[in-house]
Chain A
Amino acid sequence: MSVVDTTLLVGSCPFRDVPGRMDDLNRLRERAELDLAVATGFRSLFYFDPVDGLERDLDEFAEASEWLRFLTVINPEFPNLEQQMERAGKDARICGCRLVPGLHRYALLSDRVRIVCSAADEAGLPVVISGRIFDDRVAPRAIGQAPVDMGELSELLQAESSTTFVLSMFFFGELKGMGVDWEGLPNVYLDLGCSKPSSASFDELPTWFPVNRVVFGTGAPYYYWGGSRLALEGSTLTEDVKADILGNNALEVFSWR
């Protein structure tokens, strides 16, 4: 069984001492028995130049390149979008792009977002859309994190049907509340490792979403990975489904070049 954590938040966090350095990640990998992981660096999220932030992340975590891939964080309103996506497509250390519209404050229905989608298609990369990075109620006061317009999101997912999307760090309640026919959107995956489950959320998942399109990112080390993992382990999903969610499905979405 492969274990693939599709959302690690790594590097130096400006708001809190997070065990997100190379040594910390090696310990996390051992303890969580990770085979592979997909990371997003705090530098990419918070630097004025997310590309420069990504370069620094790639340098800092170079020794983990065997098991750790990165998402390039895109703010579609910034320049050099096409070059950034082209670079991502050519660099084997980068396995997708992440949009964080609530943090970077842009609308999802825009020409620039469509360019991201087209470029991602061309490069064979998934587009990860984040609902948030922080818990809305207790985010650092310096952070203004807007809610994602779920109507716009729904429209984007349906309009860009050739793009592979992964919805990450949305809450179960938000996703269920979208009222979308998920069967009809085979291009959409859910990353449910950091999605505020209730006591029944994972048990009920097969009733509203195709479980072969669920991946699992815990948000570690900013968030407790153990809680998320145990929530999956303890659910009433079959062992085969759990194994797929924990790793196999991710191997289909994020190509491990």
Chain B
Amino acid sequence: MKRSKLRRIAGSGLVMAAVGALLTGGAIEASAAASGTVKTAGDPLNVRRAPTASATAVKTVANGATVTIDCQINGASVTGTYGTSTLWDYVPALGGYISDTYVFTNSDTRIAPDCGVGSGSGQCADACAGEAQYRGSDSHFLVYDTNSDGYSAVVAYWLKGGAGPFYVWNSGGEGTKVDKAVSVPHGTWLFYKVCVANYTTAKPDLKSCSDGITDYAA
């Protein structure tokens, strides 16, 4: 009797209690969208795979375009329309980062949370000889080799619970991309770095790594 009662509590009671508390907590309340307007001397602005001008330009965005900023992060310093700053804005619709110094946000301070918020992120290592993006919507890593240095580009990532690191390799050489689905439990975090290394099935000797970032699987 005791056992079955406890099972019922564990199976539903606690869960319901948690949901109820969440509804009252109101942690994540929507408010005005963080948005900005691209302002250059007239040229299109480069959208970078990682928050540095050394990273590959994945596309451009026109002067005067309105962008929705999911998150911001400190990267390499840039001097643009509005001065010099290390702040970069992540724009999911563009699939990369733009320097905040070319974006009118009506604010000198940050207007969005730190990057790693589940909508995507990018890192680069060794002067961007290796680049990687995490796409939270379907939990894919995109790993790019952009340099003929003889090394592979590799992502090392860690998961909730203490497992890791796991690796996603791109050993295809300069100019190649690997797109790989990784299993990350729904809604949980992963912490990843992109590095360059010699390919191995054993534990790699990572030659150079980005600082790393936490992101979330949708």
Do A and B form a real pair?
no
Q: Using CB atoms and an 8 Å cutoff, list the residues of chain A in contact with chain B.
A: none
